[in-house]
Amino acid sequence: MAKYIISLDEGTTSCRTLIINHQGEIVASDALEFSQIFPKAGWVEHDAIEIWNSQRTTLVQSVNKAKISVEEIVGIGITNQRETVVMWDRQSGLPIYNAIVWQDRRTADYCDELIKAGKKEMIREKTGLIINPYFSASKIKWILDNVEGARTLAANNNLMFGTIDTWLIYRLTGGEVHITDSTNASRTMLFNIHTQTWDEELLALFDIPKNILPMVKSSSEVYGSTFPGLLSKKTEIRIPIASAIGDQQAALFGQLCLEPGEVKNTYGTGCFILMNTGETPVKSSNGLLTTIALDYNNKITYALEGSVFVAGAAIQWLRDALKIIYHASETDWYTSLVNDDQQVYVVPSFTGLGSPYWDSYSRGAIFGLERGTRREHLVKATLESLAYQSYDVIMAMAEDLQQAIKTIKVDGGASRNNYLMQFQTDISQVEVVRPKNIETTAMGAAFLAGLALNFWASIDDIKDILIVDKKYQPKLDQIIVKKLLKGWKVSVARTFNWLKDIA
Ligand code: ADP
């Protein structure tokens, strides 16, 4: 009988399910987009019930498409959008408010107050994070303070909090299991990454009762099993759920960045660059986050992380707002139409700048326009902005570590773009390596579930699965690179504090 691992990949815009065989091949998959809810400027919500329904539908659909029997499923692994907050009633199992998404900025003023109150260092020290609405704590507090009855529910021990992994596991187990893993916990701003415990001082600061929090587990172990009847009429069939890991950490593992110094960059809606720093949490002096990369085999691995908020989203902006391209992949071809050396720059700081600048007040800008600037210059400059923004993070990492980065392993939708990958390697002077299967996030969760269930005996077993598609080496003249980078530095700096300056 063939055996399979199922990976549930719950992202910011869609739920996906992949069915993976022992050779690491995807035998079937299914995906469903879900609603993005924008109740006010800067607010972003998801309907947690819709997420559960979509995830469940893609699970059932993919099993159906794969034409496998439920007995052949060894276990389920989960990877998810991080930081997003779901709060639900312990009695009914129903959410008391929409999920507040990581992108949501409603708690910006409160976060500013925390900074003014001098909490930056304490929070940094304990959690490795920078005070920002991005993380869960201020969103949990917002729900407790603003949703009627929330605090009473909590006082009666009837309120539960979870990130999306927690919510899906709760639902998949029929409400039996309330857990998260260390990687997801490390993004809440309530978890001490050194002691690996929920932190009493932070809970008091954010006024969050401890009884709503999930238990924190490793990223690879059996947490529980699916409720009877989820996938089969035979009620004795219950499938073990054996991994949970935040999406970016899953990609780091899926790319097999297992040794200190190994780096991956995911070019999706945003860019997320993570470096494995081994068993030592490295504190950044350059605006990067310190986070838990993995909790596996009784060992915590740490990472340095830099996030670029708008990357592939800038390509979507070319397509959907400016309407100057039809499809994201056309951008590669457009770059070949530029045969002059006009230095046009697009800084797509539509929602402010993430690492290493952390400037919420920056806004997007185009620089270097001339009478001869054409559509293709804009397309090329926008595409290059993904590489420049990633370059800034890579340099910040190299500075924190006091050593050059030699290789970046890449994945995500925009990593298919050959021009972008070559440009990235040229300006950063690092080798760029793209695997054949760029589904590294889903693969990371599948690997961890498979390891917990002895589907794969050891990490060595999975090393053969990851096949390299292409390696890019720097070719561009260093004098040109210097000139290009100078232009970028000046451009990005001119966008700083924009909203404050025009206020
Ligand atoms: P996410 O998981 O964040 O939704 P994906 O990894 O699916 O993102 O990548 C999709 C993003 O990548 C989109 O923002 C899209 O604009 C961009 N993208 C996809 N293909 C290309 C391409 N060939 N060139 C440039 N950008 C691309």
Q: Are residues 199 and 230 in the same domain?
A: yes
Task: Give yes or no for residue 170 having a pLDDT over 80.
Answer: yes
Q: Are residues 318 and 237 in the same domain?
A: no
Residue nearest to atom 17 of ligand 1 (CA): 312
Q: Which of 196, 218, 247 lies at the terminal end of a domain, its last residue?
A: 247
The predicted structure's pLDDT at residue 468: 85
How many other C-beta atoms lie within 10 A of the C-beta of residue 242? Answer: 27
Q: Are residues 314 and 427 in the same domain?
A: yes
**At CA 393, angle to CA 84 and CA 421, rounded to 5?**
100
Q: Are residues 222 and 272 in the same domain?
A: no
Task: Note whether residue 354 is domain-resident.
Answer: yes
Ligand 1 atom closest to 413 (CA): 9
Whole-model pTM: value is 0.92
Which residues touch 92 (CB under 8 Å, ≥6 apart)?
none
Ligand 1 atom closest to 416 (CA): 23
User: How many structural domains compose the chain?
Assistant: 2
Residue nearest to atom 13 of ligand 1 (CA): 312
Annotation-wise, does 247 bind a ligand? yes
**At CA 383, angle to CA 482 and CA 256, rounded to 5?**
85
Residue 260 belongs to domain spanning: 256-436+465-502
Task: Note whether residue 452 is domain-resident.
Answer: no
Q: Are residues 353 and 421 in the same domain?
A: yes
Kindly indicate the confidence band of residue 171, based on its pLDDT and cuts at 50, 70 and 90.
Answer: very high
Annotation-wise, does 12 bind a ligand? yes
Task: Note whether residue 459 is domain-resident.
Answer: no
- DSSP for 465-479? T--EEEEE---S-HH
Q: 87-97 pLDDT, tens per residue?
A: 999 999 999 99
Q: Are residues 107 and 217 in the same domain?
A: yes
How many other C-beta atoms lie within 10 A of the C-beta of residue 461? Answer: 15
Ligand 1 atom closest to 14 (CA): 4
Q: Which of 230, 247, 264 lies at the terminal end of a domain, its last residue?
A: 247
The predicted structure's pLDDT at residue 294: 97
Q: Are residues 317 and 381 in the same domain?
A: yes
What mean pLDDT value characterizes the chain?
94
Q: Are residues 187 and 266 in the same domain?
A: no
Residue to probe by mutation, ligand 1, list 267, 310, 326, 421, most atoms within 8 Å of CB: 267
Strand, coil or helix: what is 335?
helix
Task: Note whether residue 446 is domain-resident.
Answer: no
Q: 352 C-alpha vs ligand 1 centroid, how far in Å?
A: 20
Annotation-wise, does 461 bind a ligand? no
Report the CATH number that the domain containing residue 19 is assigned in CATH: 3.30.420.40
Residue nearest to atom 25 of ligand 1 (CA): 414
Q: 134 C-alpha vs ligand 1 centroid, how far in Å?
A: 21
Annotation-wise, does 413 bind a ligand? yes
Q: 402-431 pLDDT, tens per residue?
A: 888 999 999 999 999 999 999 999 999 999
Q: Are residues 242 and 270 in the same domain?
A: no
Q: Which of 185, 217, 247 lies at the terminal end of a domain, its last residue?
A: 247
Q: Are residues 263 and 210 in the same domain?
A: no
Q: Are residues 261 and 243 in the same domain?
A: no
Q: 182-192 pLDDT, tens per residue?
A: 999 999 999 99
- The pLDDT > 90 percentage for the chain reads 85
Kindly indicate the confidence band of residue 214, based on its pLDDT and cuts at 50, 70 and 90.
Answer: very high
| Identity at 202, one-letter amino acid code | L
Task: Note whether residue 451 is domain-resident.
Answer: no
Task: Note whether residue 482 is domain-resident.
Answer: yes
Task: Note whether residue 442 is domain-resident.
Answer: no
Task: Note whether residue 317 is domain-resident.
Answer: yes
Q: Are residues 44 and 115 in the same domain?
A: yes
